[in-house]
Structures are given as C-alpha cells and as structure tokens.
Amino acid sequence: MTSGAVTRLGEISARIDAACREHGRDPETVTLVAVSKTFSADDIRPVLAAGQRVFGENRVQEAQGKWPLLRADFRGIELHLIGPLQSNKAAQAVALFDVIETVDREKIARAIAAEMKAQARQLRLYVQVNIGEEPQKAGINPEDTGTFLAFCRDELGLAIEGLMCIPPANESPETYFEHLATLAKDHGLRRLSMGMSGDFEAAIASGATSVRVGSAIFGSR
C-alpha cells in the first residue's frame, strides 16, 4: 500500500511545478524541503523511498534521533535546520545538518563558524529575517540585514547564501515575501527560503527558491 505521505508528496510537487509555470519560472529553480519534524523515521522512510532527498527539521535533538539511521539506508540526503539554534547545540548541528537556515544573531554565527572550522565542514547558511518584526519571533530585523551580513562575511568569513523568513500568522504573506525578496536582491543574495504548506504558491510567485512544506505532505502534527 502506498503511504498517504507519498501521494501528497506527488501532489505538492505537481503544485510547485504548476506555480512555476504560471509565474514563468523553471521548476528546477525551486527546491522542496519536506519538513518532517515530529514524524518518526518510519513515517519518513516511504517518502525517501519515493525519491525525496531534501528534508527540514526544527530541533537538533529530535533530528539526531532519526537521521543518522535514515542516512545509513538512503544516499544523498540533504538536511536543513529550520528551527532556532542554541550555541550549546552548535557542534551537534554542524555535524548533522547540511544547511542551517536560522542564523539570526552574532553569537550563533560565531559558534557555527567556529564549529565549521573545528570539524572542517562547510555548511550552506541562510540568515533568518524577522520579516514581520514580531517581538516573539526569531530572526534579525529587516533593517539590520546589511550590517549582519557584513558581520558574517567580514568578521567570520561565512558565506551566507540566502535569506529565510516566517511571515506573521493570520495575515496575507505576499507583502512579506516581496519584502524578503527585495532584501535579498539588495544584498546580492540569490536564495530565498519562504513559503510553507498554506502559502508556498504565493512564495513561488515572489521568487522563493526553496519552500518548506510539512503538514501538507506528512499530515497534521
């Protein structure tokens, strides 16, 4: 029997392709990050078997509990950290993940830089922007993007490849997606991680190069 997640993975991929066509974009330029947080290794296996290779997790500890096992069984997995990172988990995160999307303050940028050096590992990095300037949300303020990117580059030698955001809930996301796209362009960054289950098509319209889709694939959490 085919897992429901595999059926839904196919449907989401088709919707990504359709959104790309509608907005004159090559589907090859949009990566689907399947967000598997809270789901078990056994829930994830069928999705891997169906060919999906890029996954997102929001907690280091939880990811550590399932991905080393899955990596032993499937080649070519690319794992993204999409949740907040504490400095005391930086070593573990750098060892486990391929991409960290939540670089959001000097202290964590320093810790990541030090660990990448110590472990001789090059991760791909995104800066998280608090695009709605919400007090409770992680991310640097939009107006500090340039200063923070310069700090990462000049002080730490980090190559940041893009920007990531989570727009405010219960508001239409379009203006936030457009704002993040403008910030990335202004700072010469080509990658944009934005869009989740409820709004990935709008994100693609605004230039997302990766979308992070969880519940629409794996089911509700």
Residues binding ligand PLP (CB under 6 A): 35, 37, 58, 82-83, 166, 196-197, 212-216
Cβ 213 to ligand PLP shortest distance, Å: 5
Residue 85's Cβ-side half-sphere holds a number of Cα atoms within 13 Å equal to 33
Nearer to ligand PLP, 14 or 118 (CB): 14
Backbone angles phi, psi at 193, to 5 degrees: -100, 105
| Under 8 Å between Cβ of 36 and 52 | no
Cβ 118 to ligand PLP shortest distance, Å: 27
156 burial via Cβ count (<10 Å: 0-12, 13-18, 19+) = middle
Nearer to ligand PLP, 146 or 219 (CB): 219
Nearer to ligand PLP, 37 or 53 (CB): 37
Cβ 164 to ligand PLP shortest distance, Å: 8
- The Cα–Cα gap between 165 and 144 comes to 14
Which residue has the CB atom at the shortest distance from ligand PLP? 214
159 burial via Cβ count (<10 Å: 0-12, 13-18, 19+) = exposed
Cβ 57 to ligand PLP shortest distance, Å: 9
